[in-house]
């Protein structure tokens, strides 16, 4: 049964207008290369989740060369940063800043980093809110139909880490060195999250009463969007 209250709204590609001037995101991973040498991987990822650049360097080299550390930080500057965990991300960025001779408080990195796991939880929570609003509306309008998602996610079994989130996404394990696999996994999960969020906000966009209750569609999950906006407005003194 078609819900007669559905309306045509702007396509998803038109929604993230506030991020058009944002550089996007960066994924930081630490681990070993194919030779077992401790390495650092950096992937640049667009606001839509597409990879746009990648670097892999040895930790011994990057953390002991001021110029190289500054060069790598320039690839992060202006971007929301993430990784397998916020703790790892913030610790790695702090070490890079120290190697580059920069003074940046922990709060600086914290405001610009986000967790893919938290972003996913934000998606699930947003869908629950929309479903509740639709349920209330159905009580007074028999023409309203329940929301349907491409996939349903349980609020009682949310992933605790990036590997659990990868399993939820059904994405495969990428090949390559351990540090590369980690960076690729996070990058691909980000792209998957963009798709899940797009479906969520497009659903709201097509039901006027949901927009009335919850506001206009947003470009990204709240915690992710806040980090990207912080990264866009504050730049490193490089």
Q: Please state, in angstroms and as integers, the Cα–Cα distance from residue 155 to each residue in 63, 127, 133, 158, following that order.
A: 41, 10, 17, 6
Does residue 127 carry a pLDDT above 70?
yes
pTM more than 0.85? yes
Which of 84, 72, 74, 167 lies closest to 118, judged by CA?
84
**Matching residue, tokens 């030779």:** 35
38-45 and 51-58 beta bridge pairing: antiparallel
Q: How far apart are CA 82 and CA 90, in angstroms?
A: 9
φ and ψ at 4, to 5 degrees? -70, -10
Determine phi and psi for 206, rounding to 5 degrees.
-95, -5
The model's pLDDT over 139-157, given as tens digits with 9 standing for 90+, comes to 999 889 999 999 999 999 8
Task: Measure Cα distances from 229 to 47, 82, 103, 120, 192 in Å.
Answer: 11, 14, 21, 18, 21
Strand duo 80-82 + 51-58: pairing: unpaired
Residue 4 has pLDDT above 90, yes or no: no
User: What pLDDT is recorded for position 22?
Assistant: 58
Q: Scanning the structure block, which residue is given the tokens 């934000």? A: 122
Residues 6+ apart with CB under 8 A from 40: 28, 29, 30, 56, 57, 58, 59, 62, 72, 92, 179
Burial (CB count <10 Å: 0-12, 13-18, 19+), residue 71: middle
Average confidence (pLDDT) over 3-17: 46
Output the pLDDT for position 233.
Answer: 84
Encode pLDDT of 170-196 as tens digits: 999 999 999 999 999 999 999 999 999
Task: Note the pLDDT tens digit of each residue in 36-71.
Answer: 999 999 999 988 788 889 999 999 999 999 999 999
Q: What is the pLDDT of residue 117?
A: 97
Give the tens place of pLDDT for each residue, 185-233: 999 999 999 999 999 999 999 999 999 999 999 989 999 999 988 998 8
pLDDT at res. 12:
40
Q: How many CB atoms lie within 10 A of CB 56?
A: 18
Confidence of residue 76 (pLDDT cuts 50, 70, 90): very high
How much is the average pLDDT of 29-37? Answer: 95
The pLDDT assigned to 32 comes to: 96
What is the pLDDT at residue 169? 97
């Amino acid at each position: 049964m078609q819900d007669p209250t559905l309306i045509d709204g702007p396509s998803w590609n038109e929604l993230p207008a506030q991020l058009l001037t944002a550089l996007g995101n960066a994924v930081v991973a630490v681990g070993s290369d194919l030779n077992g040498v401790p390495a650092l991987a950096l992937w640049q990822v667009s606001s839509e989740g597409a990879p746009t650049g990648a670097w892999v360097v040895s930790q011994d080299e990057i953390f002991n060369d001021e110029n190289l550390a500054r060069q790598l930080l320039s690839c992060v500057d202006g971007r929301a940063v993430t990784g397998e965990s916020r703790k790892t991300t913030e610790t790695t960025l702090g070490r890079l800043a120290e190697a580059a001779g920069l003074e940046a408080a922990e709060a600086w990195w914290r405001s610009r980093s986000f967790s893919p796991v938290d972003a996913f939880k934000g998606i699930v929570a947003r869908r629950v809110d929309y479903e509740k609003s639709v349920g209330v509306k159905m009580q007074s309008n028999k023409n309203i139909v329940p929301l349907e998602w491409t996939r349903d996610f349980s609020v009682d079994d949310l992933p605790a880490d990036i590997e659990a989130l990868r399993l939820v996404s059904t994405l495969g394990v990428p090949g390559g060195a351990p540090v590369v696999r980690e960076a690729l996994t996070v990058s691909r999960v980000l792209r998957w999250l963009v798709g899940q969020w797009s479906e969520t906000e497009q659903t709201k966009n097509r039901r006027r009463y949901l927009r009335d209750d919850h506001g206009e569609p947003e470009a990204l999950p709240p915690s992710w969007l806040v980090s990207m906006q912080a990264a866009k407005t504050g730049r490193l003194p490089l």
